[in-house]
């Protein structure tokens, strides 16, 4: 009964880790839309009456702001300012670094070893995994996600001969995990192709 309770709790936490960021993002977006609607009202009156002009203009303004912020962060000065803000504020939030690394991998922007797709030998099986880091002695820290969410799982420290890095996009590995293993044959094929 205790194992069943842990399983239910683990599943609940995994679901929360997926739903909470989406919910908070949606709330922030709706709050920003409401705040900007009054700002864009004079321009919205110039557009046709049947069109939800205020909401569309507010959304367009948010997208432009996000784009300009992204452009600013890609400059040397903007990047330095963002790193300082991140170190002083966001790094203190539990789980921020994990979600940041995960989001960068999803966007294809990360060159670091963290979250490199792999197949790990656990007991007598191959399991989809992500290489998180390499230890000084050559062993690898591997994260084995639970299905269907890649946000929860188990950590293993394994010898490199038990970990098979895959030359596949990060999103392909995540898709196989979130689809209950559908697409794993492509991961195995990538491993076998590398072994040749």
Q: Which burial class, exposed, middle or buried, applies to 187 when counting CB atoms under 10 A from its CB (0-12, 13-18, 19+)?
A: buried
What is the C-alpha to C-alpha distance for residues 67 and 78, in angstroms, rounded to an integer? 13
Structure tokens at 27: 């709330």
Residue ranges of alpha helices (H) inside 139-181 are 170-178
Q: Which is higher by pLDDT, 177 or 43?
A: 177
Spatial contact of 152 and 102, defined as CB atoms under 8 Å apart = no
H/E element, 116: strand 116-122
Mind listing the domains of the chain with CATH numbers? 2-92 (no CATH), 116-195 (2.30.30)
Q: What is the pLDDT of residues 90-109, one digit of tens each?
A: 666 666 666 666 666 555 55
Q: Picking from 93-107, 113-127, 140-154, which range would have the lowest pLDDT averaged per residue?
A: 93-107
Give the angle 79-85-89 at the CA atoms, nearest 5°. Answer: 150
């Amino acid at each position: 009964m205790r194992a069943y309770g842990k399983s239910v709790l683990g599943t609940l936490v995994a679901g929360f880790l997926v739903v909470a960021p989406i919910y908070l993002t949606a709330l922030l977006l709706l709050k920003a839309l409401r705040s900007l609607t009054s700002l864009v009202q004079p321009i919205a009156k110039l557009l046709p009456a049947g069109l939800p002009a205020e909401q569309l203009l507010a959304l367009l303004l948010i997208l432009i702001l996000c784009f300009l912020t992204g452009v600013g962060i890609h400059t040397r000065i903007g990047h330095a300012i963002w790193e300082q803000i991140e170190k002083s504020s966001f790094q203190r939030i539990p789980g921020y670094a994990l979600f940041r690394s995960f989001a960068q991998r999803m966007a294809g922007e990360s060159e670091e070893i963290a979250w490199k797709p792999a197949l790990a030998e656990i007991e007598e099986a191959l399991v989809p995994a992500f290489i998180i880091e390499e230890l000084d002695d050559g062993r690898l820290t591997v994260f084995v996600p639970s299905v269907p969410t890649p946000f929860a799982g188990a950590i293993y420290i394994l010898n490199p001969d038990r970990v098979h890095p895959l030359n596949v996009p990060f999103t392909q590995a995540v898709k196989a995990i979130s689809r209950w293993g559908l697409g794993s044959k492509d991961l195995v094929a990538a491993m076998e192709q590398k072994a040749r």
